[in-house]
Amino acid sequence: MSAAAATDAPSQQLLAQLLQLVGELKNEQKDLLGKVENYQQETKSSIHAIQERMLLNSAAEAGLVPDDKALTHRTRKYKVYASDNIADSDSEVESFNSKSPRSHGVSNGSLSMSPLRGMAGTTPTGGKPGSTKNGLYNYRIVLTTYPGQVGINPIPLTWGAADPALRGPIVASRHPSSLRVRNAIGAHGGSYCVYRALAIASGDLEPSHRPDLHNTEPVVRIGPHPAWGSPDRIVSIDPFGHAVADVFAKQLADGVDVRPTIAITKAHMKLIEMEDAIKKGRLAVDGKVVVNDAGDLMVTKGAVDPVWYLPGVAQRFGVDEATLRRALFEDTGGMYPELITRPDLKVFLPPIGGLSIYIFGKPEYLSDPSKSLTVRVHDECNGSDVFGSDICTCRPYLIYGIEECVKAAQNDGVGLIVYFRKEGRALGEVTKYLVYNARKRAEGGDTAAAYFLRTENIAGVKDMRFQALMPDVLHWLGITKIDRMISMSNMKYDAIVGAGIPIHERVPIPPDMLPPDSQVEIDAKVAAGYFSHNAAPIDLEATRGRTWWATG
């Protein structure tokens, strides 16, 4: 034997031993995997059996199945997937289950649930039967989707394209005809999408209902305007949201559920303050804008639901898109998982309030730089705007803005009120009323010095209206300048001017229109930088609000 052969013998023996060990490890691993799978199956079966018994017992208590069936009747399963192929029917689901692997390695987990709507052809609350023969929904629940799945083919969308054919329709509907091609996250209707779900659950609305858009087109022509073709100028409104029946007629005819997000109509506005303005000679009846002695006003009005282009919204707030998506998901209790799993979908319909516009005079004058334009951008305040609370200036300032808009229209100009649903500085009315309590119970009284502090103590921030998105509606209307801005807000002024729309004159609320208990708010805001003609220093500690028990 050569020296080289003698040297290789131990190495070959060691290699053989290693290969034997590897083989033994593989066999042990295979056995272990088998045991784990058996354990998982046994556990799943046990959980299913327990859930079935619990659900059937509950159904029996509700009178939906006989008591003697509660422990023996087999319920139908709702399968819950984090991701799966899109299917329209139970039989199609079974076909996918037998032929297609799960996307992205997500296991075929299932959760046993009782489809109570399908039991005995009734609903748990005694409402109408479900819309399918087996219940309201088929038994498969899709928690989210991913790009590239079988059956997922979003309609192309080019945000900022001036041509609607190139831009493409925004489709968020889960209607069977649109589910595979939807290119937006969320649901139509803003905050009212939840009520739509309730209507479906109660049996009052068919989930497959599609709106009949016949005769719903705008009463006046809006646009197109140059800003519609800029992906940066408008990021929170669909510029074609009012014209879907026209510009996306082909898609509608093909069965795609494209829905308007903007509606434009006409109306008479009746406010007791306008009648008073006529009696005192501040307004005149012209039969066009002010139509009679009762102060009725002719207006063109519109409603706008939010449609967010997420990259543009992120840019406005100075954050990256991933952070925005994560915050919208995490800090809303896991709202819309597709915010995380579908980075290819760039449009989001948030479940928040939208805005209204009220145009006084000719709408086409809004985009005519030769015409004088008066504007008030107003954020909702239910307590004052509707019910007349005197702790703030909201309704008086809104009324003053409307009166000034009417005067502009009667002087061959145009007026515009933009009304945003941002109750309580977008903190909500509950928070606002908590702040009122804290202010009135504060040691030393309700002072202007502590006005913003009380809000920050409760909400953590003094204002969440974030006016960064507000100018979009002005761009949508084709506005290129504002002659008179009826507002003291520095945030609104900075946002509008920063968006490239100059403001020639800022108009504060007249002192004689301040409600009795609103001086605390005004002084605090002026001290914080709000616009005012009063340059005198304000003693914030001396400005105090009325106590609850005071009568004056």
The DSSP symbol for 80 reads E
| Chain position carrying tokens 């409603």 | 303
Q: Which helix (H) or strand (E) holds 420?
A: strand 414-420
Active site residue 88: no
Marked catalytic residue, from 84, 238, 446, 463 = 463
Q: Give buried/exposed letters for 327-340 (b at 16+ CB in 10 A, else e).
A: ebbeeeeeebbbbe
Per-residue confidence in pLDDT tens, the chain, 552 aa:
555 555 567 778 888 888 888 888 888 878 878 777 776 777 667 666 665 655 555 555 444 445 454 444 444 444 555 544 555 444 444 444 444 433 333 333 333 333 333 333 334 344 443 444 446 677 778 788 889 888 889 999 999 999 999 999 999 988 888 888 999 999 999 999 999 999 999 999 998 899 999 999 999 999 999 999 999 999 999 999 999 999 999 999 999 999 999 999 999 999 999 999 999 999 999 999 999 999 999 999 999 999 999 999 999 999 999 999 999 999 999 999 999 999 999 999 999 999 999 999 999 999 999 999 999 999 999 999 999 999 999 999 999 999 999 999 999 999 999 999 999 999 999 999 999 999 999 998 999 999 999 999 999 999 999 999 999 999 999 999 999 999 999 999 999 999 999 999 999 999 999 998 999 999 899 888 898 887 666 788 888 888 887 654
β-pair type (140-142, 79-81): parallel
DSSP states of 199-217 as a string?
HHHTTSS-TT-----TT-S
Catalytic residue among 425, 465, 484, 506: 465
- Of 94, 73, 75, which Cα lies nearest the Cα of 85? 94
Coil, strand or helix: which one is 309? strand
**Predicted local distance difference test score (pLDDT) of residue 223:** 94
Give the contacts of 522 (CB within 8 A, at least 6 positions apart).
393, 509, 514
With b for 16 or more beta-carbon neighbours within 10 A and e for fewer, the 129-163 pattern comes to ebbbeebbbbbbebebbbeebeebebbebebbbee
Q: What is the pTM of this model?
A: 0.78
Q: Classify the phi-psi angles of 223: left when phi > 0, otherwise alpha if psi is within -120 to 50, otherwise beta.
A: left
Q: How far apart are CA 531 and CA 489, in angstroms?
A: 6
497 half-sphere exposure, CB direction, 13 A CA radius: 13
Structural contact between residues 298 and 291, judged by C-beta atoms closer than 8 angstroms = yes
Strands 297-304 and 308-309: unpaired
- Look at residue 536 in the predicted model and tell me its pLDDT: 61
Query: CA angle at residue 324 from 321 to 329, to 5 degrees?
Result: 125
Look at the block and give the residue holding tokens 């609350």. Answer: 125
Q: What is the 3-state secondary structure (H, E, C) of 378-398?
A: EECCHHHHCCCCCCCCHHHHH
465 is catalytic: yes
DSSP E strands: which ranges in 230-389? 262-269, 297-304, 308-309, 347-349, 355-360, 373-379
Q: What pLDDT is stored for residue 202 in this prediction?
A: 92
